[in-house]
Amino acid sequence: MRIGILTSGGDCPGLNAVIRGAVLKGTEINDQEFVGFKDGWRGVVAGDIRPLERSDVRGIAKQGGTILGTSRTNPFEGNGGPERIQETLDRLGIDAIIAIGGEGTLAAAKRLTDAGLKIVGVPKTVDNDLDATDYTFGFDTAVEIATEAMDRLRTTGDSHSRCMVAEVMGRHVGWIALHSGMAAGAHAILIPEQKTSMEQVAAWVRSAADRGRAPLVVVAEGFTPDHADDAHSERGLDAFGRPRLGGIGERLAPMIEEMTGIETRATTLGHIQRGGVPTAYDRVLATRLGMAASDIVQDGSWGRMVALRGTEIETVGFEEALGKLKTVPQHRYDEAAMLFG
């Protein structure tokens, strides 16, 4: 069987480990052959491929990014669509696709599978927001990077007696903010799941300052203060029609300074959170998911993806992964909130 692998959507530490795991398991155990689609769904639509043999994946588990490239191409636009894609796969002699990506990628994979294409999925997102899996690879690395950045912000905040606002990724969930904020000892963590007033934020900041601390406020990019209706977005929509979030930290900093009288600075960590080498945890998880993806292709379990449940790798249908976002539950936020101020 000849399998095409693609990485789509935002890049993420661990993508290369998935590719390596699938290729090694597939070529050595499952008698499979692999090619890689260049730049995500764009490569599928255009038939742009490269070989993926064992020598091509040697040593890539520790590399960040993706050797295949990625994009936010919508496979249903332009020259795409299930019929055209199937024609391309037939021309290239490709029997099935392993799609590695997040919500947008897996939603497109489900539509194509429903139309008759043979696709299995591997969940990828630093946001950790897919409901069907306990953790996604890339999340642990993003939290580690964000925590280190906040540790550095604390030292400059302490030196100048400033309040530091750190904005992290996460889209419409607050997992990165929650974990990195708790690890860094933040005095307030603001996430999309919790409507919080600026008066409450200011109270937490003043409480920390009154104890002689330089306040650290961690905010997820999708956070919406209780006086606003929508998450802050000033960069338009992506290829799947979703708003590009970001910039809430810069909006909050002057409000905090005005309400507390404490000099406040904002830092948006942005894409640094998903760059660089993956952590050991993400390398192991990604490798296991890649190996399992080869197995479900071998079984012909189309329309399903691999997932982590506890410590075991299982398979679930695309519809289970796309049913709803995995949000931060109230009790997890309450645990963290006990430490605020």
Q: Specify binding-site residues.
A: 10, 72-73, 102-105, 125-127, 162, 169-171, 221, 265, 271-274
Alpha-carbon distances of 43 from 3, 39, 114, 148, rounded to whole Å: 14, 6, 20, 36
Q: Which of 159, 157, 177 is nearest to 168 (CA)?
A: 177
Say how many C-beta atoms besides its own lie within 10 A of residue 55's C-beta: 7
Copy the structure tokens of residue 300: 């012909």
Partners of 163 in the beta sheet?
264
For the annotated binding site for substrate, the residues are: 125-127, 162, 169-171, 221, 265, 271-274
Alpha-carbon distances of 157 from 70, 217, 225, rounded to whole Å: 37, 11, 24
Q: Which of 172, 139, 113, 154 is nearest to 302 (CA)?
A: 113
Residue with tokens 């052959």: 33
Q: Answer yes or no: 127 catalytic.
A: yes
Sign of the alpha-carbon dihedral angle for 293, 242, 278, 15: positive
- 307 burial (CB, 10 Å; 0-12 / 13-18 / 19+) is buried
Sign of the alpha-carbon dihedral angle for 294, 299, 304, 306: negative
Rounded CA gap, 155 and 9, in Å? 35
Which residue among the candidates 39, 48, 95, 127 is catalytic per the annotation?
127
The identity of residue 22, as a single letter, is A
Q: Which of 151, 191, 165 is nearest to 249 (CA)?
A: 165
For the annotated binding site for Mg(2+), the residues are: 103
Alpha-carbon distances of 322 from 51, 54, 330, rounded to whole Å: 31, 33, 21
Rounded CA gap, 169 and 258, in Å? 25
For the annotated binding site for ATP, the residues are: 10, 72-73, 102-105
- Tell me which residues are annotated as active site: 127
